[in-house]
């Protein structure tokens, strides 16, 4: 499904008031299930959470309550009332973590795809934070909802993530990220043939005024710089390395879409889940492969995460 024609407006809300979203169904969304269309539109809400909203009567289509399985018609208007989030202290959960490195100051985690970094509406459990609190109960800083979190990866982006274990470490790491003194390199499969094979994208990024769930290249946005280099070419895709100086939300996904080569499998800025060389795409092809920084104790360290098996299979199919 393409979400390009879904248009919506957001009503202003207070912290204790529901958030009201109005969605206009475009021609491309005709005959799509109500729950599936909303899940694709609201990237921060899970499909299960949206189904619960529908069941609770918080969703209307053309002024009428509908089931999750209702098939949409072009031109219909969907109104969604999203209850205000009530941040609470996340519970420790014994979820396995791939710890690449740890010391008294930090944990470096190789996050799998499909795992959310910190609790949010629709994703209150099963997050990196829940797992970290079980593994390292001393990590209780930076507020109750995002303890130790210095930077984030999207749910379906895999790779390296560093977590601070105490306030001094958090301050030291946050300063490096803010001052762009870290090394962050991703591996991505991009749609189309990228020309030239390397370059820099220096384009500000801000919240898309037409869809608050998306980011966009905006002149009034915050500065964002990405450097790309093609590693391998295929008929309809390029395998590339992308190094980012800044760390804006969805930066690589927005920048690559801006130059006409979205991340393969990206459901928000590209064509979504399709296939590459006949191999089904399990998710967007984006992996945080290399992270370099000064540890709070002083020395510069670099960490590497190999490409996960699901993405390796995609490359193997393209090479065959």
The conformation of residue 64, written as its DSSP 8-state character, comes to: E
Q: Which of 88-92, 130-134, 184-188 has the highest mean pLDDT?
A: 184-188
Judged by average pLDDT, the poorest of 82-96, 190-204, 221-235 is 82-96
Residues 258 and 195 placed together within one structural domain of the fold: yes
What confidence category does residue 85 fall into, taking pLDDT thresholds of 50, 70 and 90?
low
- Band of the pLDDT at 9, cuts 50, 70, 90? very low
Burial tier of 177 (Cβ tally within 10 Å: 0-12, 13-18, 19+): middle
Q: How many domains does the chain have?
A: 3
Does any domain span residue 91?
Answer: no
Rounded mean pLDDT, 112-125? 83
Q: What pLDDT shows up at residue 15?
A: 38
Burial (0-12, 13-18, 19+ Cβ within 10 Å), 32:
buried
Which range, of 16-25, 48-57, 141-150, averages the lowest pLDDT? 141-150
Q: How far apart are CA 265 and CA 191, in angstroms?
A: 9
pLDDT tens across 192-201, in order?
999 999 999 9
Q: What is the CATH number of the domain that holds 14?
A: 3.10.290.10
- Higher confidence at residue 121 or residue 181? 181
Q: Are residues 204 and 304 in the same domain?
A: yes
Q: Is residue 227 part of a domain?
A: yes
Are 284 and 251 within one domain?
yes
* Claim to verify: residue 141 and residue 224 sit in the same structural domain: no
Q: What are phi and psi of 212, to 5 degrees?
A: -70, -10
Distance CA 161, CA 101 (A): 11
How does residue 88 score in pLDDT terms, banded at 50, 70 and 90?
Answer: low
* pLDDT attached to residue 148: 84
Query: Is 189 in contact with 276 (CB distance < 8 Å)?
Result: yes
- The alpha carbons of the chain give a radius of gyration, in whole angstroms, of 20
Whether residue 105 has pLDDT greater than 80: yes
| Alpha carbon distances (Å) from 87 to 91, 120, 123, 175 | 12, 8, 12, 26
- Is residue 30 domain-resident? yes
Residue 239 CA to residue 315 CA, distance in Å, equals 8
- According to DSSP, residue 259 is labeled T
Q: Is residue 112 part of a domain?
A: yes
Q: For position 281, what pLDDT does the model report?
A: 83
For residue 258, being part of any structural domain is answered with yes
Report which secondary-structure segment, H or E, holds 289.
strand 286-294
User: Which residue range(s) make up the domain with 206?
Assistant: 183-319
Whether residue 92 is contained in a domain is answered as no
What pLDDT score does 12 carry?
A: 33
The CATH number of whichever domain residue 241 belongs to comes to: 3.30.2350.10
Verify that 187 and 309 share a domain, yes or no.
yes
| Mean pLDDT score of the chain | 86
Instruction: Assess whether 227 and 112 both reside in one domain.
Output: no
| Confidence band of 290 (pLDDT split at 50, 70, 90) | very high
Domain co-membership, 187 together with 132: no
The total of other beta-carbon atoms located within 10 Å of residue 301's CB is: 15
> Is position 19 within any domain?
yes
Same domain, 57 and 111: no
* Range 168-176 contact pairs with CB under 8 angstroms and sequence separation of 24 or more: 168/105, 168/296, 169/105, 169/106, 169/296, 170/141, 170/142, 172/294, 172/296, 173/106, 173/293, 173/296, 174/150, 176/293, 176/294
Active-site entry in 103, 105, 110, 154: 154
Q: Please state, in angstroms and rounded to a whole number, the distance separating the CA atoms of residues 83 and 68.
A: 18
Q: What is the pLDDT of residues 151-172, one digit of tens each?
A: 999 999 999 999 999 888 988 9
**Cα–Cα distance for residue pair 138/142, rounded to 1 Å:** 12
Q: Are residues 208 and 314 in the same domain?
A: yes
Residue 89 lies in a domain: no
Check whether the bond before 94 is cis (ω within 30° of 0).
no
Task: Give the 3-state secondary structure of residue 41.
Answer: helix
Choosing from 22, 55, 82, the residue where a domain stops is 82
Conformational region of residue 148, where left means phi above 0, alpha means psi within -120 to 50, and beta covers everything else: left
167 and 208 co-located in one domain: no
Q: 161: closest CA among 108, 119, 116? A: 108
Distance of CA 267 to the CA centre of its chain: 10
Last residue of a domain, one of 41, 57, 82: 82
Q: Domain boundary at 143, 178, 213, which?
A: 178
Contact 132, 148 (CB under 8 A): yes
Q: How far is CA 83 from the centre of its chain?
A: 22
Three-state SS at 313: helix
Same structural domain, 57 and 152: no
Query: How much of the chain, in percent, has pLDDT values that exceed 70?
Result: 88
Considering the domain architecture, whether residues 132 and 217 belong to the same structural domain is answered as: no
31 is catalytic: no
């Amino acid at each position: 499904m393409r979400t390009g024609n879904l248009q919506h407006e957001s009503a202003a809300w207070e912290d204790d008031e529901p958030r009201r979203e109005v969605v206009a169904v475009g021609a491309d969304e005709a005959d799509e299930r109500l729950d599936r269309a909303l899940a694709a539109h609201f990237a921060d809400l899970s499909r299960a959470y949206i189904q619960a909203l529908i069941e609770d009567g918080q969703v209307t289509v053309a002024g009428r309550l509908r089931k999750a399985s209702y098939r949409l018609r072009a031109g219909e208007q969907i109104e969604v009332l999203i209850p205000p989030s009530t941040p609470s202290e996340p519970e420790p959960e014994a979820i396995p973590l791939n710890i690449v490195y740890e010391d008294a100051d930090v944990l470096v985690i190789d996050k799998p795809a499909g795992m959310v970094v910190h609790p949010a509406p629709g994703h209150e459990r099963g997050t990196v934070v829940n797992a970290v609190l079980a593994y390292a109960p001393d990590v209780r800083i930076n507020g109750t909802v995002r303890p130790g979190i210095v930077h984030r990866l999207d749910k379906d982006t895999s790779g390296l993530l560093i977590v601070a274990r105490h306030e001094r470490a958090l301050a030291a790491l946050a300063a490096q990220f803010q001052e762009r003194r870290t090394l962050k390199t991703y591996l991505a499969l991009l749609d189309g043939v990228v020309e030239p094979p390397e370059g820099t994208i220096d384009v500000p990024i801000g919240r898309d005024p037409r869809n608050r769930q998306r980011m966009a290249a905006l002149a009034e946005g915050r500065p964002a710089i990405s450097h790309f280099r093609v590693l391998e070419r295929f008929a309809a895709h390029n395998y590339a390395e992308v190094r980012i100086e800044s760390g804006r939300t969805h930066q690589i996904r927005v920048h690559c879409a801006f130059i006409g080569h979205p991340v393969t499998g990206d459901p928000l800025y590209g064509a979504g889940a399709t296939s590459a060389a006949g191999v089904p795409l399990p998710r967007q092809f984006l992996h945080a492969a290399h992270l370099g920084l000064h540890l709070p104790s002083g020395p510069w360290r670099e960490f590497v995460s190999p490409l996960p098996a699901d993405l390796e299979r995609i490359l193997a199919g393209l090479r065959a």
